[in-house]
């Protein structure tokens, strides 16, 4: 379980196809504090740590990525050297600064428009039709693992404002039109919609 508050920007240090895809992620976390089997969200995808270490002062962890995960996320487009939003799993007693995020990506949204508004940047996304119905103005979404508030919704399109702090401390400062983004809808929205369906609302 995660909160969508990014705590480090890592970097893809190596990719090795070996049945499943194994990725090595260089990070700012102390690798001695990362347990084998721990969950870390990588661009919003909950992945299990299978190895850790430190090389020339650089801490890292390895994760294995299944074909199913590759088919549902943007990880298949990863390249060595690419930055990655990271968040370690929520611990009991941690501050819940974003919203409850599972790390189970529902689909991919595409960046279709961007423009600056003061120091912020408004970004418009195109969501898959089957997921768009779960996205509501002032509701929450997780995009590449970042907990964000939806400004407005127009059909399958929705927009979000990124403040300067978010752009500087996550990978959102490097986003571009055409990028495909990991989208996780709010779990609460999913259950409310399901309940409405069952009651014929």
CA dist 182 and 161 (Å) reads 17
Q: Write the class of the CATH domain 8-88.
A: mainly beta
Q: Cα separation of 185 and 56, whole Å?
A: 39
Q: Cα(116)–Cα(110) distance, rounded to whole angstroms?
A: 18
Q: Which pLDDT value is given to residue 98?
A: 78
pTM: 0.92
For residues 42-64, give the mean pLDDT: 97
Out of 29-33, 99-103, 124-128, which region has the weakest mean confidence (pLDDT)? 99-103
Q: Is the pLDDT score of 22 beyond 90?
A: yes
Query: Which one is predicted more confidently, 169 or 189?
Result: 169
Do the first three CATH levels of 8-88 and 107-198 match, i.e. the same topology? yes
The domain locations on the chain are: 8-88, 107-198
Cross-strand pairs, 22: 16, 64
> Tens of pLDDT along 38-49?
999 999 999 999
- Most confidently modeled range among 27-31, 94-98, 134-138, 197-201: 27-31
pLDDT on residue 201: 58
Confidence of residue 64 (pLDDT cuts 50, 70, 90): very high
CATH classification code of 107-198: 2.40.30.20
What pLDDT is recorded for position 191? 67
- Indicate if the pLDDT at residue 169 is higher than 90: yes
pLDDT tens, residue by residue, 88-100: 998 766 777 778 8
Instruction: Give strand pairing partners of 180.
Output: 110
């Amino acid at each position: 379980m995660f909160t969508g508050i990014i705590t480090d920007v890592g970097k893809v240090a190596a990719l090795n196809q070996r049945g499943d895809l194994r990725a090595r992620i260089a990070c700012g976390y102390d690798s001695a504090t990362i347990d084998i089997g721990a969950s870390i969200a990588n661009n919003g995808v909950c992945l299990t740590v299978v190895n850790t270490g430190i090389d020339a002062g650089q801490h890292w962890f390895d994760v294995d990525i299944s074909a199913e995960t590759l088919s549902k996320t943007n990880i298949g487009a990863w390249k060595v050297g690419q930055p990655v939003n990271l968040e370690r799993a929520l611990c009991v007693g941690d501050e819940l600064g974003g919203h409850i995020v599972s790390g189970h990506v529902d689909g991919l949204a595409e960046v279709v428009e961007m423009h600056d508004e003061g120091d912020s940047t408004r970004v418009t996304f195109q969501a898959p039709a089957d997921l768009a119905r779960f996205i509501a103005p002032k509701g929450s979404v997780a995009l590449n693992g970042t907990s964000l508030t939806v400004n407005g919704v127009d059909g399958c399109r929705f927009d979000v404002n990124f403040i300067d702090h978010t752009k500087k401390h996550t990978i959102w400062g490097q986003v571009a039109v055409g990028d495909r983004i990991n989208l996780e809808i709010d779990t609460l929205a999913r259950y409310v919609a399901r309940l409405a369906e069952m009651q014929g609302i």
